[in-house]
Structure 1
Amino acid sequence: MAVFTDLSEADCGRIATAYRLGSLTSVIGIADGDAETTYLFRSGRGEFIVTLFESGAEPFDVERAFQTMETLSGAGIPCPATLRTDVGAATITVAGKLVAVVGFVPGSRLSEATPGKCHALGTCVARIHQTLGRSRNRVPLGLPTGPVHGALNRDNVFFVDEMVSGVINFRFRHNDVLIAELAEVILHWAVTADGTLERTLVRALLAGYEDIRSLNEAEWRAVSAFVMAAAATVFARDGRLTDLEAATQRVFLSAKNCIEEIRP
């Protein structure tokens, strides 16, 4: 999140009116990474996150994200509350940008991974997969596929104490092999500075996930390879090309050793 587009007082008033936020008491720009402009609006009704999409999002993209959050919230999975206009629209256009508003999510992003937080995250990931994938498909190798969040990194999950308090940013939802997303979560949340995986965190993530959805034999066999694939993607995106093969091999061997010790 960041501020790339300034809002005038009139712009803020138009947003508050469209989404029935009430009289605004403060408007604060949030300068925190990302590629979109984000504000915190405060009013008598509460606190709201207002996003101005700088990257060419379409109303359909935001509507699908809203529907996803509404489905998950209905199942008790912590997501931002969605706000719609009088005609039920998820978005309006202000200052030449598409705008959406959601409720403020309590908690904070992770500063240090712990087994308790990773167990809670694993459970949350499985609940997302289970809720969105009521009719799940399988690819020929026996790996279940279905809707996934698409960006369950440390920027998009909030915690209060050891519990997940909110999952945000559902614009990247797509269909994929479920174990591929779980492998990405393992990489993002359990990798150490030397490029290996912290075994206690991997164990906690998988235990939390399996509390809700058990992995099948094909998934247990494949998870290490998917962790390696996730690592290769991250390292290549970060420009780590000179040691790409060695780095991904190190992650793979670490994942393989973890899985061999953990799997039932």
Structure 2
Amino acid sequence: MAVYTEVPFGEAAALAEKLGLGTLTELRGIQGGIENTNYFITCVTDGVAQEHVLTVFERLGFDQLPFYLRLMQHLARKGIPVPGPVADGSGEILHTVQGKPAAVVEKLRGRSELSPTAGHCQAVGDMLARMHLAGRDFGLQQPNLRGLNWWNDTVPVVLPHLAASQRDLLTAELAYQNHVAALPAYTALPRGPIHADLFRDNVMFEDGRLSGFFDFYFAGCDTFLFDLAVCLNDWCIVHAEGDDDGQHDETRAQAMLAAYQAVRPLTSAERQLLPAMLRAGALRFWLSRLWDWYLPRDAAMLKPHDPGHFERVLRARLARLPDLSVPLLDAAPVTA
């Protein structure tokens, strides 16, 4: 979470006081991520220090942000461990810092597991399914802003920067995903609010137990299967230097899928299109990383992610076709 907007200490202190958080004692920029400005803020009340996260939104506007913040509030009330937004005395959870929209949320306890075991993947699959069920009655609607429409708009922008083999792969996969989106089976996929970016660094564990999901600022209404595929593409693959990077990990994938389906079994349409959504998830993050890599914004502490990783994930998914769906689903029950 790069720092694009330098927040003066005094302004942060005034916001903390307005929110009843106490006296601000520390304001520390957060390194990692590339979309918004994020700070850890430490406040003291009656001698007790507490940490929260201050986010200044760089691309999302005041009209879009109620969806994200109210979704987090809704999920927290349903028992899903997410950081609740902090309201001021009038109940407002969307604030202004340096003339930009901002929010302060609770800081989750624990740490991310960047080398997850099958047990970690099982916990994520279980909670992801519970989150999908909890969000079905959420009243606000907003599309996945990094979905198919964004892919169609962005591919032409990055193509000039790529080698011929990359251009061929990117354009072919985009054409395939447009084809999939027109299928009746795709139309039948269950939908609702999804996280859409639930990578390993957006989940916390404490004492071996999942303690929370966070960073919902790519969330939107889309297929639950796409959300699951995004998780499988980060949690259940090999992360390594060299040729193995991006390869499927069967044990972790089975653990995540079995746990997910124990809570919300996949439909026949979801089973049919899981391979396509795994490809879609790889395409989405390859494309966004290409965009950030070749068209970066100025920011302190900005470290764009290597786009080559998700190119390898996509190629690995393509190499497993047409038998991808069978080993991924053998161990889990499926409903019609």
Same fold (TM > 0.5): yes
SS in 2 for 1:41: strand
> What residue is the counterpart of 2:147 in the other structure?
none
Q: Which is worse superposed, 97-106 or 244-253?
A: 244-253
SS in 2 for 1:16: helix
Give, in whole Å, the separation in 2 of the partners of 1:75 and 1:123: 15
CA gap 1:248/1:6 in 2 versus in 1, 3 angstroms: same
SS in 2 for 1:108: coil
Letter in 1 for 2:53: I
CA gap 1:128/1:22 in 2 versus in 1, 3 angstroms: same
| Equivalent in 255, 261, 265 of residue 214 of structure 1 | 265
CA gap 1:254/1:237 in 2 versus in 1, 3 angstroms: farther
> What residue is the counterpart of 1:53 in the other structure?
57
TM-score of the aligned structures, taking structure 2 as reference length? 0.70
SS in 1 for 2:324: helix
Q: Residue deviations 1:56-114, cap 9 Å, x none?
A: x2223322212111111112111112101222222222222222101111111222111
SS in 2 for 1:262: coil
Query: Where does the alignment leave 5 or more consecutive residues of structure 1 unmatched?
Result: none
Letter in 2 for 1:35: E
Give, in whole Å, the separation in 2 of the partners of 1:168 and 1:3: 18
- Does the alignment pair 1:186 with 2:189? no
> What residue is the counterpart of 1:94 in the other structure?
97
| Equivalent in 275, 284, 289 of residue 224 of structure 1 | 275
> What residue is the counterpart of 1:159 in the other structure?
205
- Does the alignment pair 1:150 with 2:196? yes
Letter in 2 for 1:179: L
Question: Is the CA contact (8 Å cut-off) linking 2:272 and 2:325 kept in structure 1?
Answer: no
| Equivalent in 253, 256, 264 of residue 325 of structure 2 | 256
Q: Residue deviations 1:140-168, cap 9 Å, x none?
A: 42422222112112232222243221111
Question: Is the CA contact (8 Å cut-off) linking 1:21 and 1:43 kept in structure 2?
Answer: yes
Question: Is the CA contact (8 Å cut-off) linking 1:220 and 1:259 kept in structure 2?
Answer: no
> What residue is the counterpart of 1:204 in the other structure?
255
| Equivalent in 79, 84, 90 of residue 76 of structure 1 | 79
SS in 2 for 1:35: coil
> What residue is the counterpart of 1:170 in the other structure?
216
Give, in whole Å, the separation in 2 of the partners of 1:251 and 1:151: 23
Aligned residues: percent identity? 30
> What residue is the counterpart of 1:115 in the other structure?
118
> What residue is the counterpart of 1:132 in the other structure?
135
Aligned residues, how many? 260
CA RMSD of superposed structures (Å): 2.6
Shift of 1:253: 5.2
CA gap 1:209/1:50 in 2 versus in 1, 3 angstroms: same
Q: Which structure's relative contact order is higher, taking Cα pairs within 8 Å and 6+ residues apart? A: 2
Give, in whole Å, the separation in 1 of the partners of 2:329 and 2:18: 55
- Does the alignment pair 1:25 with 2:62? no
Give, in whole Å, the separation in 2 of the partners of 1:196 and 1:9: 45
SS in 2 for 1:60: coil
* Greater per-residue strand proportion: 1
Question: Is the CA contact (8 Å cut-off) linking 1:116 and 1:204 kept in structure 2?
Answer: yes
Question: Is the CA contact (8 Å cut-off) linking 1:61 and 1:171 kept in structure 2?
Answer: no
